[in-house]
């Protein structure tokens, strides 16, 4: 579905233009065309391919979707794949979408899939600041990327918050089953976000500093800024990952410690009752000559004796921490 198709000159909007005229505008000097598609079908991509003269392999990737994030050079143009990552209320898994951006010297074609995130805000901001837009297509690429990457932060924060919630329960008895499940699910979500962040970070890292595509020569500082954001998210994710794996170990230790305490208690009570029962067993024997059985106060004495011994044992176990 076509969302926008606009021509700009020196940073200012000329007009909305029909897709079929794109190739004409591209030939005009100082003119710049910015097209946005959403869940495009094969015919739309085919038309765009013709108008912009896009590389076959890049169009194939955009048509198929489910690419990993990457930035590829085709001659003097770039093809960028970026993943959007969204939290969906009430769902455990993160929602992953995709934005494909074709960037040439005087055009930008973005195509997004499976995502509710729109980029109208990006275009509006860019149109409000013609001096920035006048920097050309690489700046638009930066602006789109920045919009996507900025939306990674709340996701990462959410994951961090989830980890903190789990951590606050990790030393709680009886919460281990829930903890381990949440840790496992959290790890899966961290991996999902990582898969969006890491390859993009690596790719953006090649847009500044060393040998840089000609397109991006004026915008190196901006891409370094995005790279820096991605490194921050990556660091956060690595910390979460590292902490999850420690937390899983700790959780196992807590299970073992809890169990060992239950075992001790079990052992203590078993001992107490075993003693009690042993006494009762003795006085339940049928020997003829058991003088204490004949005593008037034999029974209360016996019970008292059993209770005293058991209380004594109870106290000793209590002291040694078994009960």
First to last CA, the chain: 70
Q: CB of 154: closest distance to a second copy in angstroms?
A: 14
Question: Which helix H or strand E contains 73, and what residues bound it?
Answer: strand 70-74
Q: Binding to a second copy by residue 175, rule CB under 8 A?
A: no
Q: Binding to a second copy by residue 116, rule CB under 8 A?
A: no
Q: Binding to a second copy by residue 210, rule CB under 8 A?
A: no
Q: Binding to a second copy by residue 267, rule CB under 8 A?
A: yes
Interacting positions 124-143 with a second copy (CB under 8 A): none
Query: What whole-number distance in Å separates Cα of residue 37 and Cα of residue 181?
Result: 40
Q: Which residue has the tokens 């997004």?
A: 112
Q: Binding to a second copy by residue 217, rule CB under 8 A?
A: no
Contact region for a second copy (CB under 8 A) — 22-30, 35-43, 45-53, 238-246? 238-246
Between residues 35 and 163, which has the closer beta carbon with respect to a second copy? Answer: 163
Interacting positions 54-93 with a second copy (CB under 8 A): 55, 57, 67-68, 70, 72, 74
Q: How far is CA 25 from CA 5, 102, 152, 297, in A?
A: 11, 17, 35, 115
Which of 15, 165, 218, 249 touches a second copy by CB under 8 A?
249
The DSSP code for 68 is P
- CA–chain centroid gap for 198, Å, is 12
Residues 274-313, mask of contacts with a second copy (x by CB under 8 A):
xxxxx-xxxxxxxxxxx-xxxxxxxx--xx--x-------
Half-sphere exposure of 210 (CA within 13 A, CB side): 5
Contact region for a second copy (CB under 8 A) — 31-39, 89-97, 112-120, 256-264? 256-264
Query: What whole-number distance in Å separates Cα of residue 176 and Cα of residue 258?
Result: 10
Coil vs helix vs strand at 117: coil
Ordered DSSP codes for 45-67: HHHHHHHHT--HHHHHHHHH--P
Q: Binding to a second copy by residue 176, rule CB under 8 A?
A: yes
Interacting positions 30-59 with a second copy (CB under 8 A): 55, 57
Compute how many residues bind a second copy; rule: CB under 8 A.
Answer: 86
Between residues 273 and 312, which has the closer beta carbon with respect to a second copy? Answer: 273
Q: Binding to a second copy by residue 231, rule CB under 8 A?
A: yes
Between residues 28 and 68, which has the closer beta carbon with respect to a second copy? Answer: 68
Q: Binding to a second copy by residue 316, rule CB under 8 A?
A: no
Which of 225, 309, 314, 323 touches a second copy by CB under 8 A?
225
Residues 6+ apart with CB under 8 A from 307: none
Coil vs helix vs strand at 10: coil
The DSSP code for 69 is P
């Amino acid at each position: 579905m076509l969302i926008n198709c606009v021509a700009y000159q020196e940073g200012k909007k000329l007009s909305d233009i029909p897709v079929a005229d794109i190739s004409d505008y591209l030939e005009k000097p100082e003119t710049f065309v910015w097209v946005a598609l959403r869940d495009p079908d094969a015919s739309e991509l085919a038309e765009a391919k013709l108008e912009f003269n896009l590389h076959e392999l890049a169009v194939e990737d955009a048509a198929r979707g489910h690419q990993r994030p990457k930035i590829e050079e085709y001659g003097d143009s770039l093809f960028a794949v970026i993943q959007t990552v969204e939290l969906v209320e009430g769902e455990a898994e993160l929602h992953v979408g995709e934005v494909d951006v074709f960037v040439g010297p005087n055009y930008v074609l973005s195509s997004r899939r499976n995502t509710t995130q729109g980029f109208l805000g990006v275009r509006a901001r860019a149109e409000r600041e013609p001096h920035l837009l006048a920097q050309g297509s690489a700046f638009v690429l930066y602006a789109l990327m920045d919009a996507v990457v900025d939306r990674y932060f709340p996701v990462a924060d959410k994951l961090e918050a989830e980890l903190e919630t789990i951590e606050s329960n990790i030393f709680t008895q009886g919460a281990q089953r829930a903890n381990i499940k949440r840790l496992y699910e959290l790890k899966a979500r961290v991996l999902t976000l990582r898969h969006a962040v890491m390859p993009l970070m690596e790719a953006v890292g090649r847009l500044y500093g060393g040998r840089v595509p000609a397109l991006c020569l004026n915008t190196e500082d901006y891409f370094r800024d995005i790279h820096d954001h991605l490194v921050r998210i990556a660091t956060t994710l690595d910390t979460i990952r590292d902490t999850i794996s420690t937390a899983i170990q700790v959780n196992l230790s807590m299970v073992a410690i809890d169990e060992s305490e239950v075992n001790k208690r079990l052992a203590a009570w078993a001992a107490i009752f075993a003693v009690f029962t042993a006494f009762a067993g003795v006085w339940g024997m049928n020997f003829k000559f058991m003088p204490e059985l004949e005593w008037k106060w034999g029974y209360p004495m016996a019970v008292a004796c059993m209770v005293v011994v058991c209380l004594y044992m109870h106290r000793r176990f209590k002291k040694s921490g078994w009960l």
